[in-house]
Amino acid sequence: MRDDDKVYLRNYKISPLDTSSNEIRYRVTFSLGDVEINSNVRKFISLLEKKEGGVVTEIRKVIGEELGIDEKSVQNVLNLLEQKKLLTFNFKEKEENFTFRNRMENFWLRIKLFDISKLAGFLKIFEFFLKKPVVIGVTTLFCLLEAFLFYFSFFSKHITIKYYGIWDYFIIFVIYPYFKTVFHEMGHAVALAKYNVPSKDGIGFGFYYFMFVMYTDTHESWNLPRKERAIVSIAGFYFELIFLLPLFFTFFLTQSGAIKDYLILFPLFSISTFNPFLKMDGYWFLSDILGIVSLQTKIKNWIKSIVKKEKKSPFSSYPPSIQRFVIIYLFIFYFFMFSFLSGFYINWIKITLNLDSYIWKPLLTLVSSGIKGENIKTFNIFLRNSGIWIGGFSYLIFLLLKFFKLVFGEKNKEVEKAI
């Protein structure tokens, strides 16, 4: 940015954000971005709009006098607005069509399958499941069934777990999740239809990091009140609970080991969605409930502020109760994750150091004798060990990618910090 550059703002829209902050927050959307700002930045943008076409030196002076801040602070905000791409030095870019769609980082190859607006009539049928008594009933029933399953699987002698073979696990762990995922995305779509939220990208599929996933474009739910945003965020998980209920009764009828393993692992996966650095449904739900937009960014900046011993915290404008909850949440979550991953990687190291006895020998036995009779138990041991080894190796690669991004990636700056 040069002193003689003429400054323009891209076409933008400002709407209020429902948050728990003591400051009024706003959402600025434009052709290339979507930014959270406070009242000071909104005033700055309004002043800047009045001076559009002026050169940088003139704008620094005028806005500095209007806001009572020095020209260096004005320049910092201009630099950040340029970084966020709201600011441009080309008049033609100012007139760009409003086409922005927020794209999650590391989510690529999006392919749209369904237009939610065309399915609105069909989706309205399922709004019944979002009524409060039904939600309480479904959630309570699921928790009770999960508790019964855990008890009968580990403490009761009345049920003998049966292993039917490879197809049992293939159907439950490979085929079944695809149907569950469709129902999950339909849950988000039902919530969007309930609150008449537009969804340009609808329902589709793509890749998140190295995982094949389906998605529902819920981005415009930011314009909803917090409670309704939270319902949109958690509706997919809730619809999964509904979809899983018949599987419990199938287990009690068949005593299938594959179904038992899947249903017991499900809560562990559900907890992992609250990881503040993965941005899955649990994270978005928590962000909405707490009323903290860009929760991940604020947590990162908060940790950095502690390390650098800075006085101002990204959570300073939020009530003390919210700040305490964030600290407790991080402590409990990472204590649980550390405990789980410690046990997991102790097994992973043991298997890695003894691949021959844990994986290759069972595999050779299965290839030579087939999966039948006593070999079904061998197959399940092989499946467990290979699953732990592949999962552990994949997660290590994921952590390395996150580490390199954190160290060498572009630093995330918040516009409001400059004022």
pLDDT tens figures, 149-163: 888 877 877 777 777
Average pLDDT over residues 409-419: 47
In contact, 73 and 79? CB cutoff 8 Å: no
User: Residue 33's beta-bridge partner residues?
Assistant: 30
Residue tagged 């929760």 (tokens): 295
| 417 confidence band (pLDDT: 50, 70, 90) | very low
Residue tagged 């309930």 (tokens): 194
282 or 51: which carries more pLDDT confidence?
Answer: 282
Q: Is the pLDDT of residue 184 over 90?
A: yes
Sign of the CA dihedral with 369 first, then 371, 375, and 379 last: positive
Quote the tokens at residue 210: 């190295």
Determine the pLDDT at residue 416: 46
Q: φ and ψ at 6, to 5 degrees? A: -85, 135
Query: How far, rounded to the nearest angstrom, does the alpha carbon of residue 116 sit from its chain's CA centroid?
Result: 21
In contact, 48 and 60? CB cutoff 8 Å: no
Determine the pLDDT at residue 408: 60
Query: How far, rounded to the nearest angstrom, does the alpha carbon of residue 8 sit from its chain's CA centroid?
Result: 34
Determine the pLDDT at residue 419: 44
In contact, 337 and 363? CB cutoff 8 Å: no
Q: Is the pLDDT of residue 123 over 80?
A: yes
Determine the pLDDT at residue 1: 72
Q: Is the pLDDT of residue 100 over 50?
A: no
> What is the number of residues in the chain?
419
| 405 confidence band (pLDDT: 50, 70, 90) | low
Q: State the burial class of residue 217 (Cβ atoms within 10 Å of its Cβ: 0-12, 13-18, 19+).
A: buried
Of residues 323, 305, 321, 324, the one with CA closest to residue 313: 305
Q: What is the pLDDT of residues 58-71, one digit of tens each?
A: 888 888 888 888 88
Quote the tokens at residue 29: 């959307």
Greatest Cα pair distance, the chain, in angstroms, is 85
Determine the pLDDT at residue 213: 83
Residue type (1 letter), 76: N
Q: What percent of the chain has pLDDT over 90?
A: 22
Comparing 49-58, 118-127, 178-187, the range with the smallest average pLDDT is: 49-58
In contact, 8 and 54? CB cutoff 8 Å: no
Determine the pLDDT at residue 91: 66
Residue tagged 């179904």 (tokens): 259
Average pLDDT over residues 100-104: 51
Q: Is the pLDDT of residue 258 over 50?
A: yes
Q: What is the C-alpha radius of gyration for the chain, rounded to an integer number of angstroms?
A: 26
Residue tagged 């996966």 (tokens): 269
104 or 361: which carries more pLDDT confidence?
Answer: 361
Q: Is the pLDDT of residue 303 over 90?
A: no
Q: Is the pLDDT of residue 406 over 70?
A: no
What whole-number distance in Å separates Cα of residue 124 and Cα of residue 386?
Answer: 43
| 133 confidence band (pLDDT: 50, 70, 90) | very high
Q: Are strands 12-17 and 25-30 parallel, antiparallel or unpaired?
A: antiparallel
Three-class SS of residue 243?
Answer: helix
What whole-number distance in Å separates Cα of residue 347 and Cα of residue 339?
Answer: 13
In our burial notation (b when 16+ CB lie closer than 10 A, e otherwise), range 45-73 reads beebeeeeebebeebbebbbeebebeeeb
Q: Is the pLDDT of residue 313 over 70?
A: yes
CB atoms inside a 10 Å sphere around CB 368: 8
Average pLDDT over residues 3-27: 87
Of residues 101, 113, 122, the one with CA closest to residue 215: 113
